[in-house]
Amino acid sequence: NVLGIIIAGPTIMVHGTEEQKRRYLPKILNAEEIWCQGFSEPNSGSDLASLATRARLDGDEFVVNGQKIWNSYGHMAQQCLVLVRTDPSLPKHKGITALIVDMQSAGVTVKPLRQITGGAEFNEIFMDEAYIPDENILGEVGSGWTVAITTLMNERVSIGGQVSPRGGGFIGEVVKVWKR
């Protein structure tokens, strides 16, 4: 559950509601839920802000349509941190919202990406009229770019950052919240 502990947990600590922290952080720390990240898209290359996955509000739910690619653990994950475009009229770094998507939701399909070696370490996630409750917004509607930067900085620190002392850093903070 490395993605949950390193990426989702710290991002929820910063941008999540108190209810989201109570709901998700203990299950991330106990490895009861595996998380994945839905940022990359087939036609976006390295330009994350050009994402095309759309979400429109329908009552108290978002209806999500789009595709994510190069996803690790999507075939095993219970939750996915997904970036969606909620306002296409705004410049590309704006109008993006972060959603927590239950991978068992109707309309969510995960397919392996077969590589030349025959292996399938990565997946594609398809969302076709997937209904996601508005309580699963991480941050605010339209603040997805800020959530994405937080997530990517946590990922960067986990890959190349210095090691925090035992009980320190983001993971130490997540553990403190979980213990409370």
Q: Which listed residue (19, 33, 155, 173) is catalytic?
A: 155
- 3-class secondary structure, 101: strand
Q: 3-state DSSP call for residue 144?
A: helix
Q: How far apart are CA 141 and CA 160, in angstroms?
A: 31
Verify whether residue 155 is a known catalytic residue: yes
**70 within 8 A of 96, measured Cβ to Cβ:** no
Strand 61-72 and strand 54-58: the pairing is antiparallel
Q: Distance between CA atoms of 127 and 142, rounded to whole angstroms? A: 20
Q: For residue 140, how many C-alpha atoms fall within 13 Å in the half-sphere facing its CB?
A: 4
Q: How far apart are CA 133 and CA 131, in angstroms?
A: 7
What does the CA dihedral 96, 102, 108, 113 come to, rounded to 10 degrees?
90
Distance CA 175, CA 79 (A): 20
* Cβ 159 vs Cβ 13: under 8 Å: no
Q: Give the residue numbers marked as catalytic.
A: 155
